[in-house]
């Protein structure tokens, strides 16, 4: 089992909503003035889904009235992927944000992108394929069906927008070790190609200041020791740094950031739900974020090779541990 870690979470006069381990954090400023709060909400791109369709009858909904779960998706979407909701693509970052109002806890749990599950209507495949086949509605239904959950809320972004978000924050200070350095420049080239940019390579390993493209490349490295498990750790490192930068902003700075960056966010949350979630986080106070990753060590085994790789799981053990982390 991956060791749970805690990250200080500043919420004084602002609400920070985590979007995903790769895409970082977008702040939603619902600061008491209803008209202004609704204006902020209107900047988001809302997506309608059938909430009844995604719910699983065997889930925990009846037992979790004090718990709010929101799925956070980072989608790797190409220029020609299309999709009416703009979310068609592979969901390479899948996080469950849990707010426990009774215990005043905030938890973040990631699901490995190659987890081999049953996608309703499509058979068995890796979990990130569900987003490509049916968008956020099928992705939520897949999570709920396989792990007996009851999540009907989501926030998502296209991963290609992460560089601009990090650049708006002034970049991040990250330690790039020698193994990561072997791969990071090829990822920088890949992102440059997608975004029509010309960001420079890193010249050496070590702790250094990375811009948006370089930090996003760091997030995407998956071929060092630890493979995709290590990559989720890098994503959480970036997530933590983004949260710290946002929590250090003044209300005015945060407002400007929100109004500029919110159009990249897609969600099915209503204005009322965002206000409710915001109040819940504010009531928790400074608190701590607890982290976990599923499947845990010992509950998975790999099969296949590049192009046919899958992370097989002990579904019963994973479901039990996921429920214990989320609901207890």
Domain count along the chain: 1
Q: Is the pLDDT of residue 41 over 50?
A: yes
SS3 83: coil
CA distance 126 to 158: 19
In this prediction, residue 301 has a pLDDT band, given cuts at 50, 70 and 90, of very high
- Phi/psi at 111 (5° precision): -110, 125
Where is 199: in which H helix or E strand? none
CA distance 286 to 152: 27
Averaged pLDDT for residues 248-261: 72
Q: Is the pLDDT of residue 34 over 60?
A: no
Least confident range from 99-103, 175-179, 189-193, 248-252: namely 248-252
pLDDT (tens digit, 9 = 90+) per residue, 202-219? Answer: 999 999 999 999 999 998
CA distance 227 to 193: 24
Averaged pLDDT for residues 236-251: 75
Report the CATH number at residue 88.
3.40.630.190
CA distance 156 to 74: 6
Whether 318 contacts 32, CB under 8 Å: no
At 57 the pLDDT is 72
**Strand runs labelled E in the chain:** 6-8, 16-20, 24-27, 45-46, 67-76, 90-100, 105-111, 116-119, 123-126, 154-158, 172-176, 206-210, 266-267, 288-294, 300-303, 310-313
Whether 221 contacts 183, CB under 8 Å: yes
Q: For residue 148, how many C-alpha atoms fall within 13 Å in the half-sphere facing its CB?
A: 18
As a whole number of angstroms, the longest Cα–Cα distance in the chain is: 54
pLDDT (tens digit, 9 = 90+) per residue, 7-26? Answer: 333 332 233 333 333 233 33
Is the residue at 121 inside a domain? yes
DSSP state of 6: E
Task: Tell which wins on pLDDT, 171 or 42.
Answer: 171
Is the residue at 218 inside a domain? no
Domain containing 72 equals: 6-161+245-327
Q: Is the pLDDT of residue 222 over 90?
A: no
Task: Tell which wins on pLDDT, 84 or 199.
Answer: 199
Tell me the whole-structure pTM to 2 decimals: 0.77
At 106 the pLDDT is 83
Find the radius of gyration of the CA atoms of the chain.
19
Whether 242 contacts 169, CB under 8 Å: yes
Is the residue at 240 inside a domain? no
Task: Tell which wins on pLDDT, 62 or 69.
Answer: 69
Is the residue at 166 inside a domain? no
At 187 the pLDDT is 93
CA distance 49 to 73: 15
Is the residue at 217 inside a domain? no
Is the residue at 184 inside a domain? no
Q: Which two structure tokens, joined as six digits, stand for 303?
A: 């099969």
Is the residue at 265 inside a domain? yes
Where is 113: in which H helix or E strand? none
Q: Is the pLDDT of residue 294 over 70?
A: yes
CA distance 199 to 185: 10
Is the residue at 304 inside a domain? yes
Task: Tell which wins on pLDDT, 328 or 263.
Answer: 328
At 63 the pLDDT is 55
């Amino acid at each position: 089992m991956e060791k749970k870690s805690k990250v200080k979470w500043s919420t004084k006069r602002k609400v920070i909503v985590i979007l995903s381990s790769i895409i970082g954090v977008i702040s939603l400023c619902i600061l008491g003035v209803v008209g202004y709060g609704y204006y902020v909400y209107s900047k988001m791109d809302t997506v309608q889904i059938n909430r009844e369709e995604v719910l699983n009858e065997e889930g925990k909904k009846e037992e979790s009235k004090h718990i709010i779960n929101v799925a956070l998706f980072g989608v790797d979407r190409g220029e020609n992927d299309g999709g009416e909701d703009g979310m068609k693509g592979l969901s390479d970052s899948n996080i469950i944000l849990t707010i426990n109002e009774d215990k005043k806890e905030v938890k973040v749990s990631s699901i490995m992108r190659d987890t081999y599950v049953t996608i309703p209507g499509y058979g068995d495949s890796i979990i990130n394929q569900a987003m490509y086949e049916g968008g956020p509605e099928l992705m939520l239904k897949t999570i709920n069906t396989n792990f007996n959950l009851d999540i009907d809320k989501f926030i998502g972004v296209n991963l290609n927008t992460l560089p601009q978000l990090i650049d708006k924050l002034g970049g991040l200070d990250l330690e790039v070790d020698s193994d990561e350095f072997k791969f990071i420049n090829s990822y920088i080239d890949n992102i440059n190609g997608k975004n029509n940019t010309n960001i420079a390579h890193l010249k050496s390993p070590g702790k250094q200041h990375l811009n948006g493209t370089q930090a996003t490349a760091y997030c995407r490295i998956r071929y060092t020791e630890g493979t995709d498990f290590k990559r989720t750790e890098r994503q959480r490192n970036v997530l933590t740094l983004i949260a710290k930068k946002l929590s250090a902003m003044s209300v005015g700075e945060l407002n400007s950031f929100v109004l500029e960056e919110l159009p990249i966010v897609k969600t099915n949350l209503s204005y009322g739900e965002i206000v409710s979630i915001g109040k819940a986080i504010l009531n928790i106070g400074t608190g701590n974020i607890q982290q976990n990753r599923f499947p845990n060590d010992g509950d998975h085994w790999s099969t296949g090779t590049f192009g046919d790789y899958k992370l097989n799981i002990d579904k019963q053990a994973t479901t039990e541990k996921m429920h214990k982390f989320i609901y207890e």
